[in-house]
Every structure is written in structure tokens, then in C-alpha cells.
Amino acid sequence: MRHLMTPLDLTVEELDSLMAVAEDIKKDPARYAHTCDGRILAALFYEPSTRTRLSFEAAMLRLGGRTMGFADATSSSAAKGESVADTIRVVSCFADIAAMRHFKEGAPMVAAQFSKIPVINAGDGGHQHPTQTLTDLMTIRSCKGRLGNMKIGMCGDLKFGRTVHSLIRALLRYDGISFVFISPNELKLPDYMIEELNNHPNVNYKELTKLEDAMPELDALYMTRVQRERFFNEEDYVRLKDYYILDSSKMELASKDMIVLHPLPRVNEISVEVDNDPRAKYFDQVNNGMYIRMALILMLLGIEA
Ligand code: CP
């Protein structure tokens, strides 16, 4: 039995295979429509979500399976003090696979240790969000035709943004990757991520504060929201929340084939006028997210389509 806690739980070959299956499902969904008949996915969400929870549920439903779970910890026995370990022991009796989002870093890892069914980390605090990374990789590959030999800008809340941390980890395994990290000083990448980068001497990176300076050199720009829920005080959030706003005038500085990604939800960091720019790919990410989660469910349940 396998779990997915970080993108590094999958080899590069397995990532390739997952993306190939996801593309195949996208082309021919009818062929996969009954592959999970009789199976149940439990969506255990202790923290708010629109995309991740609904795309896991849509993924299982479109594979012929069913779903159950909670979208809010207050409606589960967590509100009475039940531990994650006990909850997953219970859910293991009812479901075949579980996706867990939790505000505490490492909670899905604890669940995996006590689980009798595969557990997928659907986002743990400011730590990791591996299925968002699968979505991001699939979108980059389908837009650019490759995952290596690319300069990627990551902009916004690089301190608390778990999608950034997961995507960096995944991309470090491809050749010719360089990063430009764009953030205010207070929201720079955490030290443990800088250490991981420094352990890959073949990977170039630089840290900037001005988005305009980075735009002309990028193949892809990954925008992120300032993570209000992880701030210790509202004053700091208010000061930093609109530090970066990507708009049409900044897009003019970028190359004609630079793609714009965002894990969503967005607040103000991408102006809606950018949505109609053909380089804006953030809603394509959402669509890919369902197909790659379908492929992941099949893999973790050991179902060959
Ligand atoms: N990208 C993402 O995790 O979105 P949700 O918080 O809506 O699941």
C-alpha cells in the first residue's frame, strides 16, 4: 500500500506515467468511467477548499466510484477532540482511499502511519501540496512540451505557500531548471527550502523583490496568494497582501509564450484583465487537476485501466 505525502514519493518515471494516463483519460473518459465501480473515496478536509476537494470528488465519481467525508472539521468528531490517528482508523473501515487536508504540517503523514487505506496529502499547513504539483507539472508540460530547460518565476507568498514548496521539490529533479523567486523580504522561501536548493548545485536560482525585473526572462510565472490564514497578525497581512498585482502592463514585459500559472484561489494578485490573455493558464490547471487526480486514484488503488 502506498500513500502520497510529497511529490518526491513518486519517481520521475511514475510522474511521467501519471501524466500520460491523465492525458489519456482526458481524451477518452468513457474508457475509464467504470474503473472504480464499488470503490469509495473519503475526503477529509479540516481546512477550507474548493478545487482540491471537489476535484477529488469529481475524479472518483467520474471513475464510477463514490465519495464521502467532511468539508469542515467542526462537523466531524475532531470538534470533540478526536485525533487524526483515530479518525483515519475509523475511516479505513468505510473507504478504500482517503484525501486529507489539514492546517497542521505533518497531519496527513500521521494519518498514513495509522491507516489501512492509501492516504493522499491534499495540503498540510504551509508544508506540501503534492496533488497541486501534479496539476502544475501536467499543465507546464502540456503548454511548453517539456519540464526541463526552463526558467520559472515564483511570485508572492513563498514562505507559507505550500504549492510553491512542493513544485520546487518536483522540478529540482529535471535538467536545466532555473528559478527566480520574487517576494517581499518577509515572505521569502523558508530556510529549509533554500537548503534543498543549495543541495542541487546544478540548479540556478536568484531572489528578487521586483516582479517587473523578472518578467522578460521567464518561461513560466507561478503567482501565489498571500496566505492570510497563516499570518500571526492581520496588520502584517494587510500590509503585504497587494504587494504584487499582475496586470496587462506587466504582461507586456513578458515573452509571447511565457505562461502564467496560479494554484488558485486568487484574491488580487492577478488582475481579471489578464484572464483573457492566451498566456493565462490557471483555469487549465483546474481542469488538469481533476484528470491527474483520476490517474492518481487508479495508481494508488492498483487499478490498471
Ligand atoms: N489550489 C487549491 O488547493 O485550491 P483549494 O484551496 O480551493 O483546494
Give the pTM.
0.95
Number of domains the chain contains = 2
Mean pLDDT of all residues in 118-130 = 95
Q: Residue 273, Cβ neighbours under 10 Å: how many?
A: 13
- pLDDT bucket at 242, cuts 50 / 70 / 90: confident
pLDDT at 63: 98
Is 1 inside any structural domain?
no
Say how many CA atoms lie within 13 Å of 166 toward its Cβ.
27
CATH, residue 201: 3.40.50.1370
Which of 44, 47, 51 for a ligand 1 pocket mutation test, highest count of atoms within 8 Å of Cβ? 51
Whether residue 163 is found in the same domain as residue 276: yes
Q: Where are the alpha helices (DSSP H) in the chain?
A: 12-27, 51-62, 84-91, 107-114, 130-144, 162-171, 191-198, 211-214, 234-240, 248-251, 282-300
* Shared-domain flag, residues 94 and 212: no
11/74 same-domain check: yes
Print the domain residue range for 175: 130-285
Q: pLDDT tens digits for 74-121?
A: 989 999 999 999 999 999 999 999 999 999 999 999 999 999 999 999
Same domain, 245 and 266: yes
Place of cell 526541463: 148
Of 15-19, 203-207, 241-245, 294-298, the least confident: 241-245
β-sheet bridge partners, residue 205: 179
Q: Using a 6 Å cutoff on CB, does residue 183 contact ligand 1? A: no
Same domain, 116 and 13: yes
Ligand 1 pocket, 87 CB below 6 A? no
Element spanning 261, H or E: strand 259-261
Residues 229 and 293 placed together within one structural domain of the fold = no
Contact by Cβ (8 Å): 42, 98: yes
Q: What is the pLDDT of residue 59?
A: 98
Which residue has its alpha carbon closest to ligand 1 atom 3?
52
Mean pLDDT, range 184-204, rounded to an integer: 94
pLDDT above 90: residue 240: no
pLDDT band with cut points at 50, 70 and 90 for residue 158: very high
Question: What is the rounded average pLDDT of the residues 53-63?
Answer: 98
Q: For position 238, what pLDDT does the model report?
A: 82
- Provide the pLDDT confidence category of residue 200 given band limits of 50, 70 and 90: very high
The answer to whether position 158 is within a domain reads yes
Is the model more confident about 108 or about 230?
108
In order, the DSSP letters of 164-230 are: HHHHHHHHTTSTTEEEEEE--GGGPPPHHHHHHHHT-TT-EEEEES-HHHHGGG-SEEEE----GGG
Q: Are 109 and 247 in the same domain?
A: no
Average pLDDT of the chain, as a whole number: 96
pLDDT of 232 strictly over 90 = no
2 located within any domain: no
